[in-house]
Amino acid sequence: MTERSRTRGRPLGAAWAARMRGLLNNGEHTEPGDVDTGEPTSVVDCGVYVDGRRMPGEFTPVQALAEARRREGAFVWLGLHEPSEAEMAAIAHTYGLHELAVEDAVKAEQRPKLEQFGDVHFLVLRTARYVPHTELTESSQVVETGQMMIFIGEQFVITVRHGDASEMAPVRADLESQRAVLLEQGPWAVAYAVTDRVVDHYLEVADEVEADLDIIEEGVFSRERSAPIQQVYQLKRELVEFRRAVVPLQRPLASITSSQGVVPKEIRRYFRDVQDHLTRTVEQVSSYDDLLNSILQARLAQVTVDQNNDMRKIASWAAIATVWTAFAGVYGMNFDYMPETDWRYGYPALIALLSGVTVLLYRALRRNGWL
């Protein structure tokens, strides 16, 4: 049973509607930032855009939506960072968001996907960023992932970010200062810019992981063999985490670029460029995974060869010791009539014989590569 089927028919809980009523004051909407809860608000920024230009002034989410509805060609961009259930419930009531999508936005445990709830589209992305480290160890964190949820309506776009990767402030600043023409396309333009930012970070992470991969490969195939198998396995685990963020995004982007009438034609062209970048990243991740598998198999083969070499050395020294043990066993049986036991030079002669046999065995084993 999928997560969606388990939650279908169950809103954010029976207390969801009650909490909503508690966030309303005398029939008027009260935003999380307007309620003194003792906790910081999750609203990072809230702006109203008219014909690609941001209106001056500050707005609460309720005021921003009301202002956008009074103006033609206007929409709201509301940015949230790790909102609580109560805050998200209030915003969902104001903007008419479906409770299933709201639950996903609060829990932030979703695969990349694109869903439609009435006139609102819900796009889920997984963010990723590279974690710098001086040395790759068996416990190093290489890739840190988070989530980005985007609600796209006719007059609003709501971005909900979980984690520290892919901050939206640079995206907003770039759109407002240099790409006002793109903003004129409406909420889907913001969705494109956010997606483009996330995928660009994928490319950066892929390049950094490639550098780590080169170091691992050099260490495995060097004479010193300084890369233990734990490092290879740890990098593979981190690559799997990165792969889970990148690969599933292909289907939502394909749905967007092939949609007709929902996403503006001009914006679909931009999404196709993002799709190309994503395809490049997917190919890189696949090649890295194959290379890591090869490196892992090579390292395992090296370990097996090293173990075989160690066993051959142990067996060689055991063979040499067996000669001494055999002679000691024979002369230790305490018989009265043993050869050379009464000879004055019997002991030195036996030691010389054993030493000679030892030298001959050592040279023969060394010549054959056993020592």
Q: What is the pLDDT of residue 314?
A: 86
Q: What are phi and psi of 321, to 5 degrees?
A: -65, -25
Residues 223 and 316 both lie in one domain: no
Residues 209 and 319 both lie in one domain: no
Q: Are 179 and 112 in contact (CB under 8 A)?
A: no
Q: Among 283, 302, 321, give the residue marking a domain's end.
A: 302
pLDDT tens, 143-193?
Answer: 999 999 999 999 999 999 998 887 888 888 888 888 888 888 899 999 999
257 Cβ contact partners less than 8 Å away, ≥ 6 residues apart = 268, 271, 272, 275
How many Å apart are CA 150 and CA 123, to the nearest integer? 5
Q: Among 254, 281, 302, give the residue marking a domain's end.
A: 302
Residues 271 and 322 both lie in one domain: no
Q: What is the pLDDT of residue 50?
A: 92
3-state secondary structure of 323: helix
Confidence of residue 370 (pLDDT cuts 50, 70, 90): confident
Q: What is the pLDDT of residue 273?
A: 94
How many Å apart are CA 49 and CA 44, to the nearest integer? 16
Q: What is the pLDDT of residue 193?
A: 93
Residues 152 and 289 both lie in one domain: yes
Range of the domain at 248: 3-302
Q: What percent of the chain has pLDDT over 70?
A: 85
**Domain count across the chain:** 2
**CATH at 55:** 3.30.460.20
N-to-C CA span, the chain: 60
Q: Is 227 exposed, middle or buried (0-12, 13-18, 19+ CB in 10 A)?
A: buried
pLDDT tens, 304-341?
Answer: 777 787 788 888 888 888 888 887 777 777 766 666 66
Residues 291 and 313 both lie in one domain: no
CA dihedral sign, ordered 270, 281, 108, 132:
negative
Residues 225 and 267 both lie in one domain: yes
Q: What is the pLDDT of residue 121?
A: 94
Q: Among 274, 302, 330, give the residue marking a domain's end.
A: 302
Residues 277 and 326 both lie in one domain: no
Pairing of strands 53-54, 74-81: unpaired
**pLDDT at residue 30 above 50?**
no
Residues 253 and 330 both lie in one domain: no
Residues 75 and 51 both lie in one domain: yes
Q: What is the pLDDT of residue 19?
A: 42
**CATH at 329:** 1.20.58.340
Q: pTM to 2 decimals?
A: 0.73
Residues 34 and 138 both lie in one domain: yes
How many Å apart are CA 322 and CA 79, to the nearest integer? 79
Angle between helices 346-367 and 265-331 (to 10 degrees): 160
Q: What is the pLDDT of residue 271?
A: 93
Residues 56 and 104 both lie in one domain: yes
Q: What is the pLDDT of residue 260?
A: 73
